[in-house]
């Protein structure tokens, strides 16, 4: 918190105004996994463009305001890192946009990692490591809490079963989360009689779960962002970074796997 001295019309000092840092929540994940749908769920209106394609809609980090547990938060929708050079956002541009966001924010309260509930792929670990490195680059520094939101589970008999079937992969790759929720971020198609949507009940349950997840994890201290020491200078693109940078190695691995996935 910071304070500003206030002087009244008579030139006398009055009680300073206490300025609290904003509650910043960064939403990240591959393109097409439902990041924007989750943001629309939280803002309760379609403010973020939604894409079901592998090539996403988000060109840069975009902020939206939402109310969680009667408190205002700022949500940042980030460009996916999986589009490769054929996508709307190259991996280099996605990293550049993330770095620009890091420079602008200074502090963050929570990272929300969105993935789709399909088979586990190593790119899930790559994206996690890239964001963790960019936000908490200094070893031993403050750790920003990360929660996991698994989307696309509307056709499952029990959405929570996905986690039971895949938890071992997250342990194997040492992906640590404060909490997770298994949800659907879509209402599905509308009934012809106009009475509602096919997945409306599941959507309402999911919305409540995500709201509660954020309420439990986003209102701690604002954590200063500490970029990695080998990525301190501003850049036009990732290519300007020193080659030993671990983010570059992760990014190249991420891009290679994504290219192989689409071959």
Phi then psi dihedrals of residue 253, to 5 deg? -60, -45
Dihedral of the alpha carbons of 24, 29, 30, 33, in degrees to the nearest 10:
-100
- The 3-class secondary structure across 29-61, one letter per residue, is CCCCCCHHHHHHHHHCCCCCCCCCCCCCCCCCC
pLDDT, the chain, mean: 77
Per-residue pLDDT at 241 exceeds 50: no
Alpha helices in the chain (DSSP H): 35-43, 91-105, 122-135, 161-172, 200-217, 246-262
Neighbours of 58 (CB within 10 A): 22
**pTM value?**
0.76
Per-residue pLDDT at 52 exceeds 50: no
- Percent of the chain at pLDDT > 70 equals 63
Per-residue pLDDT at 17 exceeds 80: no
Average pLDDT over residues 5-28: 70
| 76-93 pLDDT tens trace | 988 666 544 444 556 666
- CA atoms within a 13 Å half-sphere pointing along the CA-CB vector of 165: 13
Q: How far apart are CA 35 and CA 113, in angstroms?
A: 8
Which of 254, 228, 256, 255 lies closest to 242 in space, CA to CA?
Answer: 228
Query: What architecture does CATH give domain 23-229+248-260?
Result: 3-Layer(aba) Sandwich (3.40)
CA 246 to chain centre: 21
Structure tokens at 212: 């509660």
* Dihedral (CA of 169, 184, 114, 111) sign: negative
Q: Which residues contact 92 (CB under 8 A, 6 or more apart)?
A: 237, 238, 239, 251
| 84-137 pLDDT tens trace | 444 455 666 667 777 778 778 888 999 999 999 999 988 899 889 888 887 765
The three-class DSSP label of residue 27 is: strand
The maximal CA–CA distance of the chain, rounded, in angstroms, is 73
At residue 8, the pLDDT reads 59
Return the domain boundaries, the chain.
23-229+248-260
């Amino acid at each position: 918190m910071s304070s500003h001295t206030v002087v009244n019309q008579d030139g006398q000092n009055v009680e300073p105004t206490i300025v609290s840092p904003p509650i910043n929540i960064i939403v990240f994940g591959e393109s097409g996994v439902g990041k924007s749908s989750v943001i629309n769920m939280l803002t309760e209106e379609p403010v973020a463009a939604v894409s079901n394609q592998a090539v996403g809609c988000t060109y840069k980090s975009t902020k939206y305001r939402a109310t969680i547990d009667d408190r205002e938060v700022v949500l940042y929708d980030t460009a996916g890192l999986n589009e490769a050079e054929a996508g709307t956002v190259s991996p280099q541009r996605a990293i550049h946009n993330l770095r620009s966001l890091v420079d602008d924010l200074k502090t963050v309260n929570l990272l929300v990692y969105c993935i789709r509930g399909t088979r586990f792929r190593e790119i899930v670990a790559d994206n996690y490591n890239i964001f963790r490195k960019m936000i908490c680059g200094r070893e031993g520094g403050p750790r920003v809490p990360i929660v996991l939101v698994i989307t696309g589970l509307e056709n499952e008999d029990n959405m929570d079963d996905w986690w039971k079937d895949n938890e071992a992969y997250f342990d194997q790759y040492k992906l640590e989360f404060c909490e997770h929720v298994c949800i659907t971020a879509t209402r599905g198609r509308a009934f012809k009689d106009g009475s509602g949507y096919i997945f409306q009940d599941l959507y309402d349950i999911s919305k409540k779960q995500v709201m509660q997840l954020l309420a439990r994890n986003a209102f701690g201290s604002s954590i200063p962002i500490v970029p990695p020491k080998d990525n301190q200078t501003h850049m036009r693109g990732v290519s300007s970074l020193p080659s030993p940078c671990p983010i570059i190695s992760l990014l190249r691995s991420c891009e290679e796997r994504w290219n192989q996935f689409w071959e």
